Amino acid sequence: MPRQALLARLAALCALALLAFPAAAEPMRIVVFGDSLSAGLGLMAPQAFPARLEAALKAKGYDVRVENAGVSGDTASAGLARLEWSVREGTAAVILELGANDALRGVSPAVTKNALETIVRRLQARNIEVLIAGMRAPPNLGNDYAAAFDAIFPDLAKAHGAALYPFFLDGVAAEPKLNLPDGMHPSADGVAVIVERILPAVEALIERVKTRKG
Set 35, 36, 38, 102: catalytic member: 36
Nearest to 96 by CA among 173, 180, 198: 198
Contact 64, 31 (CB under 8 A): no
Dist CA 37 CA 169 (whole Å)? 9
User: For this structure, is 160 an active site residue?
Assistant: no
Starting at the edge strand found earlier in the chain, the sheet holding 129-133 runs 64-70, 28-34, 93-97, 129-133, 163-165
User: For this structure, is 74 an active site residue?
Assistant: no
Q: What angle do CA 54, 60, 99 make, to 5 degrees?
A: 40
Nearest to 50 by CA among 23, 4, 86: 86
Cβ-count burial 45-55 (b if 16+ within 10 Å, e if not): eebbbbbbbbe
**Neighbouring C-beta atoms of residue 114, cutoff 10 Å:** 15
Set 77, 150, 185, 187: catalytic member: 185
Dist CA 153 CA 103 (whole Å)? 13
User: For this structure, is 36 an active site residue?
Assistant: yes
Q: What is the dihedral of CA 114, 51, 82, 135, to 10 degrees?
A: 20
Length of the chain: 214
**Catalytic positions, please?**
36, 182, 185
